[in-house]
Amino acid sequence: MTAYDDLMAFERDTQALGQIAGRLGWDQETMMPRGAAAQRAEETGALQSVLHSRRTDPRIGDWLAKIEDSKLDQVGKANLRQIRRGYQRSLRVPADLAAEQAKLHSLAQGIWAQARADEDFSAFAPTLKQVLQLKRQEAAALADGGDLYDALLDDYEPDAKAADLQAMFDALRPRLVALREQVLGANHQPAALNFEFKEQAQMKLCREVARRFGYDFSHGRLDKAVHPFSSGSGQDVRITTRTNLTDPFNSIYSTIHEVGHGCYEQNIDAAYLLTPLGAGVSMGVHESQSRIYE
């Protein structure tokens, strides 16, 4: 085994553990009994501690130092680039902070869902404040004196800067606002739907729509969640939707959107399964596929 092989074998297990963390998140939002929230937060915290300690394992530094990049093929070089980047980022975040964030986010999800059901923002506000406080600590650790927002943005859109995105949105804004006004001001507005659509029928239709859009149910599933999301990659990519008794388009468009994310992950070459190249490259690319589908 070369240092590269050792590093990639270690990385593969870390990726597998990361997939488990994702699955726990999915479970929490779809299947978990409500009373399990506190225990789940401890479970999530324990797993994130393991992940953080693997992502900052000094052996990674040793392997990286030994590998001669120039002897690797294109895929090997791309793997190394991702691993180096992740290692440097992980080293900056203290282990305690990573575990504390994982626990808090796990607890916050249930509090948010309940507050949303009760339409009571004040019930979630104190938790949100804690989330933001820890996120600022993480940003400060990552930024190392630089811009806090840019430091966090890097997790979603590698190498992007807030200023560049601002310029892009500023350029898009006039035409998008005008288009929206044109649509809202049109003479022909669709009539409001005024009867109820059974939840079961909506879910059945959503499954059929997902299938027609190319979503592979042998490597995925569709369930209900408070807020629709897509999770997982490789052989197990799960999507969720929500239903509204009087507005079936809510579930249909949500499903199509998540199918866009899901198809992206399901169609990544299996050769990259559980490697740093086995998931989407950025939020922007991911979201562009989901928006195009939608």
Active site residue 258: yes
Q: Min. distance of Cβ 230 from a second copy in angstroms?
A: 14
Instruction: Copy the structure tokens of residue 193.
Output: 């739907």
Q: Min. distance of Cβ 105 from a second copy in angstroms?
A: 16
Would you say 45 or 260 has its CB closer to a second copy? 45
Picking from 125, 108, 62, 135, the residue whose alpha carbon sits closest to that of residue 226 is 108
Would you say 216 or 294 has its CB closer to a second copy? 216
Radius of gyration of the chain (CA): 21
Q: Min. distance of Cβ 134 from a second copy in angstroms?
A: 20
> Regarding beta strands 230-231 and 222-224, do their DSSP bridges make them parallel or antiparallel, or are they unpaired?
unpaired
Q: Min. distance of Cβ 270 from a second copy in angstroms?
A: 10
Rounded to 5°, angle at Cα 218 from 217 and 221: 40
CA distance 256 to 165: 26
Do 265 and 279 meet the contact criterion of CB atoms below 8 Å apart? yes
Would you say 91 or 273 has its CB closer to a second copy? 273
Would you say 6 or 247 has its CB closer to a second copy? 6
Compute the half-sphere exposure of residue 33: CA atoms within 13 Å on the CB side of its CA: 3
Q: Where on the chain is the footprint of a second copy (CB under 8 A)?
A: 12-14, 16-17, 19-20, 23-24, 27, 31-40, 42-43, 45-47, 49-50, 216-221, 234-236, 238, 273-274
CA distance 180 to 182: 5
Q: Which of 258, 265, 287, 294 is catalytic?
A: 258
Q: Running DSSP on this structure, what letter comes out for residue 32?
A: -
Tell me the catalytic residues.
258
